[in-house]
Structure 1
Amino acid sequence: MHRLGGVGLAAFDRQQLSQRSFAELSSELSQAQVDLLHAQLDQFRTALVRFASTHRDSIRRDPNFRHAFQQMCAKIGVDPLAGPRKGGWWAEILNLGDWQYELGVQIVDVCVSTRERNGGLIEMGELVRLVSKLRGVAGGVIAEDDVIRSIKTLKPLGAGYEVIDVGSGKKMVRSVPMQLDEDQAVVLAIANQEGGRVSEQLLVSRKAWMPERAKAALENMLLRDGLCWLDDQDEVNGVAYWVPSAMHWDE
C-alpha cells in the first residue's frame, strides 16, 4: 500500500511540475509575442511618421492626397488629423491636428457671418467656397470631405452644427440648434434645383401636395425659422419664396 501511495504522490508531483513548466513556457512565448508586436508597431509607426513628414505639405494642400492618406490611416485605426488630445504624437510631431481645428474655426466664422441672411443653413458648396476664400492661397485647397470631418469635431460644442443631405447629392450645413422636418427638407431640395426660388404652385405640381400643405411649409420656414424670404412681386406666380441657403452669392 505504501509503495502504491508513493507512486501516486510522485506522479502527482510530476504532473504539477509539468503544469508549471508549460505555464512558464506559455508565459515566455506570450511575452515574446508581445515584444515582437511592440517592435513591429514601433517600426510601423516610424515608417508612417517618415511618410507623413515627407509628404506633409501635400497632405495639407492637396485634398485628393489628403483623402487617400486619411483612408489609408483609417484602415489601421489611426487618425492623423485628430487634435492634440486625441492625436497625441501626430499633433506633436507633424502638427497636423491643429490644421483640423483651424479649419473648424474658419467654418464657424463663415457660418456665423452668413447666418443673418440664410437663417443658419448654408449650402455645402457655398460654404467650401467661402472658407477657401477666407483661407486664401496660402491655406491650400479644401474639399467637402475636409469640411465634414471638421464639423464632426464641432459637435461637442453643442451649437447644432450638422451636415444635412437634401437629396440628389446635395448637402447643406446647419449651424443653429433646430430640427428640420420632412416638408422643409423637400422645400430645400426643390430650392436647390431652382436656384433658391420655390413657390406653393411648384410644390403642388412637383410633389402633388395639397395647397394648404405647401403654404404651411413655406410660411413656417418664413415666419418661424427665418430660412426664406418672401417675394410678393414674382413675375410667374405673383408670390414666391427665396431660400438664401440655396442661392449663390458673389463675394
Structure 2
Amino acid sequence: MHRRRVGLAAFDSRDQARRFNELSSALSKTQVDHLQGQLAQFRTALAHFAAEHRDDIRRDPTFRHAFQQMCASIGVDPLAGPRRAGWWAEMLGLGDWQYELGVQIVDVCVSTRDRNGGIIEISELVRMVTKLRGVQAGAVDEDDVMRSIKTLQPLGAGYQVIDIGGRKMVRSVFKELNDDQTSILVVAHDTGGRVVEEDLMKRKGWTRERAHLALENMYASDGLCWIDDQDEESGRSYWISAAIQWNE
C-alpha cells in the first residue's frame, strides 16, 4: 500500500505538470497572436503614414529621422536598400534615394581627393553634397551621409567615418593615419590648415626632427599637405588640405 501511494502521487504530479505545460503553451500562443495582431496594425498604420507623407520623408531630414525611429521599433529600416527594406523601400523609393546619395558622396570625395588626400570633414562633405543635389532634391544632414557611407563599405573602397580630435572626418581611401598624422590634423584644424614645425614643438612637445619628419611624410608619402616655401613668417609652412575651409 505504501508503494501504491507513491505511484499514484507520482502520476498526479506528472498529470499536473502536463496540464501546467498545456496552459502555459496556450497562454504563450495567445500572447504571441495578440502581439502579432498589434504589430500588423502598427505596420498598416505606419505604411499609411509613409504613403501620405512620402515627400516630407524624402526632403526633410528631421521628419525622415523621426520616421526611421518609428520603423526601428518594429525592426524595419526603410533606408537599408531594396533587398533589406523590401516593400518599404519600394513604396517610399527611399532605398533608391539612399543609393543615389551614396553616388553623390563618392562623386564629391573623388573630385576633391587631389586637394585633400582623401580625407574630408563631414560638415564640408554635407555642404558640397547639398550643393550638388540642388534645392529640389531636398536637404541632407550628417546622419544621412553617415548612413550612406555604411552602404558603401561592402564595395571595399575604403570609405569610413573617423574621429580626428573630436571632429568627424570621412576617409575615402585605404589609408590608416598614424598617431603623428592624427596629431598634425588636430593642430591644423586649430590653425586653419597652416602648420609649421614650431607649432608641433610647442603644442605637442616634439623635437624639431620629429616635427620635420612627420610633416615631410605627410607631404611626400601621403599627399595630405602642400608646402609653402615662401612663407613670410617661418620661411616654410605646410598646409594640411583636409583642414582647409574651401569656399565654393
Which string of whole-angstrom CA distances, capped at 9 and with x for unpartnered residues, describes residues 172-230 of structure 1? 11100110011111111221222221111121122222111111111111011111111
* 1:2-37 deviation per Cα after TM superposition (whole angstroms, max 9, x unaligned): xx95x8777766665555444433332222222111
| Conserved 8 A contact 2:119-2:171 | yes
CA RMSD, Structure 1 to Structure 2 (Å): 2.3
Does the 8 Å CA contact 2:219/2:227 hold for their aligned counterparts?
yes
Residue by residue over 1:78-116, the C-alpha shift from the partner in whole angstroms, topping out at 9 and shown as x without a partner, is 323111222123212222222211111110111111112
From 129, 140, 147, the equivalent of 1:131 is 129
Aligned residues: 248
Deviates more, 1:136-145 or 1:51-60: 51-60
State the TM-score, normalized to the length of structure 1. Answer: 0.88
Which moved further from structure 2: 7-16 or 68-77? Answer: 7-16
Cross-structure match for 1:70 = 68
1:173 corresponds, among 163, 170, 173, to 170
Equivalent-residue separation in structure 2 for 1:222 and 1:70 (angstroms): 43
One-letter code of the match for 1:145? D
Question: Which 10-residue stretch deviates more, 67-76 or 241-250?
Answer: 67-76
Gaps of 5+ in 2: none
Tell which deviates more after alignment, 203-212 or 131-140.
Answer: 203-212
d(CA) in 2 for partners of 1:216 and 1:249?
27
SS of corresponding position for 1:229: strand
Alpha-carbon distance between aligned partners in 1 of 2:197 and 2:13, rounded to the nearest angstrom: 88
Contact 2:39–2:74 (CA<8 Å) still a contact in 1? Answer: no
The offset of 1:159, in angstroms, is 1.3
Partners in 2 of 1:25 and 1:238 — Cα distance?
Answer: 86
- Asked if 1:214 corresponds to 2:211, the answer is yes
SS at match of 1:178: coil
Q: 1:182 is matched with which residue: 179, 183, 205?
A: 179
Measured in 2, the distance between the counterparts of 1:124 and 1:13 equals 71
Matches within 5 A, 1:218-229: 218-229=215-226
Q: Secondary structure at the match of 2:170?
A: strand
